Chain A
Amino acid sequence: MARDATLLFESSEWNFATLSRAYDAIKEIAVGELGLDIYPNQIEVISSEQMLDAYSSIGMPLMYQHWSFGKRFAFESHLYRKGMRGLAYELVINSNPCITYLMEENTMPMQALVTAHAAFGHNHFFKNNYLFRQWTDAGAILGYMDFAKKYIAKCEERYGLAAVEGILDSAHALMDQGVFHYRRPPRLSPAKVTERARERLEYEEQAYSDLWRTLPATAGAADVEEAEQEAMERRKALHLPEENLLYFLEKNSLILEPWQREILRIVRVIAQYFYPQGQTKVMNEGCATFVHYTIINRLFDKGQISEGAMLELLASHANVVFQPSFNDPRFSGLNPYALGFAMMQDIERICMAPTAEDRDWFPDIAGNGDAMRTLIDAWENHRDESFILQYLSPALIRRFRLFHLSDRATDRFCEVASIHDERGYSAVRSALARSYDPGAHRPDIQVVDVDLLGDRRLRLQHWVKNGILLGEGERDATLGHIRRLWGYDLSLTGIDASSGAVLYECSSTDSGVVRSAS
């Protein structure tokens, strides 16, 4: 093979010409041969400090300022400097155009690998997976973040750092409870959002009249009836129960100023934007890893990268998909890259060279001869939970030697429920799938009632699943934050989801003290 004539790059040093040449060659394979469908790419080269920066602002290129990001930056850079953690080679943002950050320290072969991984693998996944399509608006997110950053900076100017920090602290505490899990979120258009915020403020300023303050407080029997009617209507309008606490507080808290509501909304929108990422970690990384692996192999076959570069890439790839055993000191859970990549390869194998067992388990796809189409279809229509439930094969369970462990906090032992044998495959598979369902692990806390007529006490319920309670210190502190946003007393009741028994009750009151009673 006339390798040298067509090599994309010779040395490990990169420059923009080689980056561009490699990109074009990769694109030819990714789009031409694999049939990936991508957003236009924007590739940015950054330094390690900028990578740390991006880490600490949860990967967004634009972010408002808050001390917690400073803390995260300090934490990450500490680990990095101590050599306890390497930095990612890349970072990719689900936006249109799709922004990929490449680290300047990467060698040229690594830049090629990373381009294939992020700019094509992740990019395709972002554009096509149903969760991302449904829950995020890639075209508008950068504009929205720009709006959010400026809006919060303006609020800081206008209302003071401390006031804004307080609201952000409280909003961050409820970020996990600020997501719609079932209802489709409204699309964002930053221009419209800004306009609405401005209108809100303007209306507020116009409608304000000092005269209202001087009206005597109304009291009387007739009024009570009227007020009750009003409260009934209002309660109905509250759409209780509501699991999106941030949304509820934004819309219904009686003490928040318009700008404070807008800040809650910003935090909520960001939480919503990241909602699909948590549910597709295995698939997303599996897809990207499979894509880069396939592409670099193709490049090598076509003689476009040298053997030396290929060795470097394979070593790096092997590191990424390394899965230590549970009893290995390096073990820290299942590696999503390893599991995802193995599953993608396994699907390819089932499509191309199925065994009798595969034909039993996967009659639909076994031996269909079109692995790429099968994979693209899977990437489009699944999240981790359904993907594993659908595609984890017995062969892979055996290869990973997966076993299912049942762990009751009150027992002094864990019990092995099933292993990689004929009886265990289904059980292991569904247990693994369930563990990737965030809905099954996220504390289920809902607003169930507000007595607007009386003490305006906000009643929250925690549906306790499998007896898993909340960490008490954090729970109480978080309740304090809700109280700050709500302005009146509130209570939280823990109810066992299966039996309906009340497990605990606690409340956050005026004095700021949280009393708990189990």
Chain B
Amino acid sequence: MPNFIDRRLNPKDRSLGNRQRFIRRVHDELKRSISDRVKSDRIADVDTAHGVPVPKRGADEPSFRNASTSGERQHVLPGNESFSAGDRIGKPETGGGQGVGRGPGRGEGEDDFLFVLSRDEVLDLFFEDLELPDMVKLNLKETVTYKPHRVGFTTSGTPSNINVGRTMRNSFGRRIALHRPNSKEHQELAGEIAALEGEENLSQMQRRRLAALREEIEALERKRRRIAYVDPVDVRFNRFERQPLPNANAVMFCLMDVSASMGEREKDLAKRFFVLLHLFLKRRYERIDIVFIRHTDEAREVDEETFFFSKQSGGTIVSTALEEMQRIILDRYPSNLWNIYAAQASDGDNATGDSERCAQLLRDALMKLCQYYAYVEIIDERESEIFGATDNGTALWRAYRAVESRIANFQMTRIARPADIYPVFRKLFARHKAAQPGR
């Protein structure tokens, strides 16, 4: 009989340390690879596990190995069908000088395997050194999240919170104090009675003794009935108090134009931008509110699902979205307590005259409330060459330029291709002032 050991239940991920070391080793290459992947237009896929081609650089393990391109070698191979000694077999024309039938070399194939990163690892690499700027209002007063904390005991509560240990301790103390007969005493008496009853003919003494014992046991049982084993006064419950969690309140407003002028391409680009933003916020800020507003000629707050997946179209009045945002801020997010961020995506088309109104809204109202406002304009690829970074552009763009020049925490930029999204995103949310050096 050998020694059998079942190792299957051993802790998993024994090689996690090695994996982390490997990721650190090829960190830069992995990151570049992910960014490339995102640029090559599969942004929504960011949120999944990823196969990343493992970069050769930084991960190769050199050693002295024979080059296959020199020297003379002898092979012995099986399966000769028609050769006889002295026959010559032409080598394949491709370089490399691989002899007939040489199997793939030792290192071959290892160079181009896919390294599958988990979702968390991808996102960590992806959002490295990005953060929301100016997260300043760390107001603790008006927090909204509570977490129950254990604080001592109480005499009332729900059965699920009964503290058994404490309850039994009370019960035990009370039973001692009130001299509740324990079951051992009871058993002794019962035993003695049984012994006496078992005897055939009892003496006078014994008979009297038996009667006394019966009385005694009856008194004992009465007392046991009167004094409960566990009494309601013994019961204790765990007490919980809701304690506020320190919270840097932040809300992100996502404003998207879904009017008819936004073609499939524009909507797609805008959505990709917001998908990225959404992922980033979810990943880096656990307790952040996200408000989705989409607008045509009227704006509406919608849920995440509708925002990303539902179709709608109509005319365009951008200011409606800003008004909606303002309304929500006044309604739910008092600006003295909340860090407020906003990102807006549009193709720049707007109803005549409305752009001025937008700029005015921003200047006079919203920018006083907001920490940061990012405007992303989706433009045609051909337009991107014409416009570049100049002041030219749509009415909305020009109006916003005026805002940008006056207000520091207003940023605007243009996206023409899927490949632009990631750089723009990084530009908008790059960690400022190298406040936290390193990664």
Which residues on A are within 8 Å of B, measured CB to CB?
16, 19-20, 23-24, 40-47, 49-50, 52-53, 56-57, 65-71, 73-75, 77-79, 81, 97, 101, 104, 119, 161, 165, 169, 172-177, 323-328, 331-334, 400-409, 411-421, 423-424, 428, 431-432, 434-435, 441, 443, 445, 462, 464-475, 477-478, 481
- Asked whether any CB of chain A lies closer than 8 Å to the CB of B138, the reply is no
B112 to chain A, nearest CB (A): 10
A405 touches which of B8, B12, B25, B76 (Cβ 8 Å): B76
- Asked whether any CB of chain A lies closer than 8 Å to the CB of B97, the reply is yes
B322 to chain A, nearest CB (A): 49
In the complex, the answer to whether A478 meets B64 with C-beta atoms within 8 Å is yes
In the complex, the answer to whether A403 meets B22 with C-beta atoms within 8 Å is no
In the complex, the answer to whether A401 meets B74 with C-beta atoms within 8 Å is no
Say whether, besides A401-B81, A413-B91, A47 and B8 are in contact (CB < 8 Å): yes
In the complex, the answer to whether A471 meets B65 with C-beta atoms within 8 Å is yes
In the complex, the answer to whether A45 meets B6 with C-beta atoms within 8 Å is yes
- Pick from B59, B63, B85 the residue with the most CB of A within 10 Å: B63
- Asked whether any CB of chain A lies closer than 8 Å to the CB of B172, the reply is no
Chain A residues with CB under 8 Å of B86's CB are 415-416
* Complex alpha-carbon distance, A323 and B21, angstroms: 39
Cβ-closest chain B residue relative to A339: B78
* Complex alpha-carbon distance, A16 and B4, angstroms: 8
In the complex, the answer to whether B21 meets A70 with C-beta atoms within 8 Å is yes
Cβ-closest chain B residue relative to A324: B79
Chain B residues with CB under 8 Å of A45's CB are 4-8
A-B residue pairs, 7 tightest by C-beta: A325-B79, A70-B22, A468-B71, A70-B18, A477-B62, A332-B103, A467-B71
A97 touches which of B3, B24, B80 (Cβ 8 Å): B3
- Asked whether any CB of chain A lies closer than 8 Å to the CB of B364, the reply is no
Chain A residues with CB under 8 Å of B104's CB are 332
In the complex, the answer to whether A474 meets B63 with C-beta atoms within 8 Å is yes
Q: Give the contacts of B45-68 with A (CB-CB under 8 A).
A: 54, 59-68
* Complex alpha-carbon distance, A79 and B99, angstroms: 26
Cβ-closest chain B residue relative to A400: B78
Say whether, besides A403-B76, A403-B80, A414-B100, A43 and B2 are in contact (CB < 8 Å): yes
B82-103 CB mask vs A (1 if < 8 Å, else 0) is 0111111111000001011111
Say whether, besides A23-B1, A172-B61, A419 and B7 are in contact (CB < 8 Å): no
Give 26 CB contacts A-B under 8 Å: A23-B1, A50-B7, A50-B10, A52-B15, A57-B18, A70-B20, A74-B19, A75-B110, A97-B3, A104-B8, A165-B25, A172-B61, A334-B76, A400-B78, A402-B76, A402-B78, A403-B83, A405-B75, A406-B72, A412-B91, A413-B88, A414-B89, A416-B88, A432-B76, A435-B76, A478-B64
In the complex, the answer to whether B7 meets A413 with C-beta atoms within 8 Å is no
Chain B residues with CB under 8 Å of A465's CB are 71
Chain B residues with CB under 8 Å of A326's CB are 77-80, 100-101
Say whether, besides A24-B1, A419-B85, A434 and B80 are in contact (CB < 8 Å): no
* Complex alpha-carbon distance, A52 and B72, angstroms: 37
Cβ-closest chain A residue relative to B104: A332
Chain B residues with CB under 8 Å of A169's CB are 61
B28 to chain A, nearest CB (A): 14
Say whether, besides A53-B15, A161-B21, A165-B21, A42 and B2 are in contact (CB < 8 Å): yes
- Asked whether any CB of chain A lies closer than 8 Å to the CB of B115, the reply is yes
Q: Give the contacts of B1-40 with A (CB-CB under 8 A).
A: 1-8, 10, 12, 14-15, 17-25
A409 touches which of B20, B68, B78, B81 (Cβ 8 Å): B68
In the complex, the answer to whether B74 meets A417 with C-beta atoms within 8 Å is yes
Cβ-closest chain A residue relative to B107: A474
In the complex, the answer to whether B62 meets A173 with C-beta atoms within 8 Å is yes
Say whether, besides A67-B22, A71-B22, A478-B64, A323 and B70 are in contact (CB < 8 Å): no
* Complex alpha-carbon distance, A488 and B156, angstroms: 79
Secondary structure call for the B interface: loop
Chain A residues with CB under 8 Å of B65's CB are 443, 470-471, 474
Cβ-closest chain B residue relative to A476: B62
In the complex, the answer to whether A416 meets B87 with C-beta atoms within 8 Å is yes
Q: Give the contacts of B122-168 with A (CB-CB under 8 A).
A: none
Chain A residues with CB under 8 Å of B59's CB are 67, 71
A45 to chain B, nearest CB (A): 5
A490 to chain B, nearest CB (A): 13
B1 touches which of A20, A44, A411, A419 (Cβ 8 Å): A20
A119 to chain B, nearest CB (A): 7
- Asked whether any CB of chain A lies closer than 8 Å to the CB of B69, the reply is yes
For the complex with contacts A400-B79, A405-B76, A414-B91, 19 further pairs of A-B residues with Cβ separation under 8 Å are A41-B2, A42-B5, A44-B7, A50-B14, A97-B3, A176-B63, A324-B79, A331-B79, A332-B104, A414-B89, A415-B86, A419-B80, A462-B64, A467-B70, A468-B67, A468-B70, A469-B70, A472-B67, A474-B63
* Complex alpha-carbon distance, A474 and B73, angstroms: 21
A403 touches which of B12, B60, B62, B77 (Cβ 8 Å): B77
Chain B residues with CB under 8 Å of A414's CB are 75, 88-89, 91, 99-100
B78 touches which of A42, A325, A435 (Cβ 8 Å): A325
In the complex, the answer to whether B22 meets A419 with C-beta atoms within 8 Å is no
In the complex, the answer to whether B4 meets A43 with C-beta atoms within 8 Å is yes
A514 to chain B, nearest CB (A): 11
* Complex alpha-carbon distance, A256 and B52, angstroms: 37
* Complex alpha-carbon distance, A261 and B425, angstroms: 49
In the complex, the answer to whether B1 meets A474 with C-beta atoms within 8 Å is no
- Asked whether any CB of chain A lies closer than 8 Å to the CB of B330, the reply is no
- Pick from B18, B64, B114 the residue with the most CB of A within 10 Å: B64
Say whether, besides A73-B19, A172-B61, A435-B74, A419 and B67 are in contact (CB < 8 Å): no
B336 to chain A, nearest CB (A): 46
- Asked whether any CB of chain A lies closer than 8 Å to the CB of B116, the reply is yes
B262-289 CB mask vs A (1 if < 8 Å, else 0) is 0000000000000000000000000000
Cβ-closest chain B residue relative to A469: B70
* Complex alpha-carbon distance, A20 and B2, angstroms: 8
In the complex, the answer to whether B100 meets A443 with C-beta atoms within 8 Å is no
* Complex alpha-carbon distance, A49 and B12, angstroms: 8
* Complex alpha-carbon distance, A423 and B85, angstroms: 9
In the complex, the answer to whether B85 meets A74 with C-beta atoms within 8 Å is no
A175 touches which of B10, B63, B68, B116 (Cβ 8 Å): B63
In the complex, the answer to whether A42 meets B3 with C-beta atoms within 8 Å is yes
* Complex alpha-carbon distance, A326 and B51, angstroms: 34
* Complex alpha-carbon distance, A101 and B116, angstroms: 26
B348 to chain A, nearest CB (A): 46
* Complex alpha-carbon distance, A84 and B258, angstroms: 47
B118 to chain A, nearest CB (A): 12
In the complex, the answer to whether B66 meets A471 with C-beta atoms within 8 Å is yes
Chain B residues with CB under 8 Å of A467's CB are 70-72
B92 to chain A, nearest CB (A): 10
In the complex, the answer to whether A413 meets B69 with C-beta atoms within 8 Å is no
Chain A residues with CB under 8 Å of B17's CB are 65, 70
Chain B residues with CB under 8 Å of A16's CB are 4, 6
* Complex alpha-carbon distance, A19 and B3, angstroms: 11
Say whether, besides A165-B21, A327-B79, A416-B84, A469 and B67 are in contact (CB < 8 Å): yes
Chain A residues with CB under 8 Å of B84's CB are 416, 419, 421
* Complex alpha-carbon distance, A368 and B110, angstroms: 49
* Complex alpha-carbon distance, A70 and B59, angstroms: 11
In the complex, the answer to whether B64 meets A20 with C-beta atoms within 8 Å is no
A337 to chain B, nearest CB (A): 13
In the complex, the answer to whether B80 meets A420 with C-beta atoms within 8 Å is yes
In the complex, the answer to whether A68 meets B75 with C-beta atoms within 8 Å is no
Chain B residues with CB under 8 Å of A409's CB are 68-73, 97
A458 to chain B, nearest CB (A): 15
Chain B residues with CB under 8 Å of A423's CB are 85
- Asked whether any CB of chain A lies closer than 8 Å to the CB of B387, the reply is no
Cβ-closest chain A residue relative to B89: A414
In the complex, the answer to whether A405 meets B99 with C-beta atoms within 8 Å is yes
* Complex alpha-carbon distance, A468 and B66, angstroms: 6
Cβ-closest chain A residue relative to B99: A407
* Complex alpha-carbon distance, A274 and B69, angstroms: 28
Chain B residues with CB under 8 Å of A66's CB are 18, 21
In the complex, the answer to whether B66 meets A78 with C-beta atoms within 8 Å is no
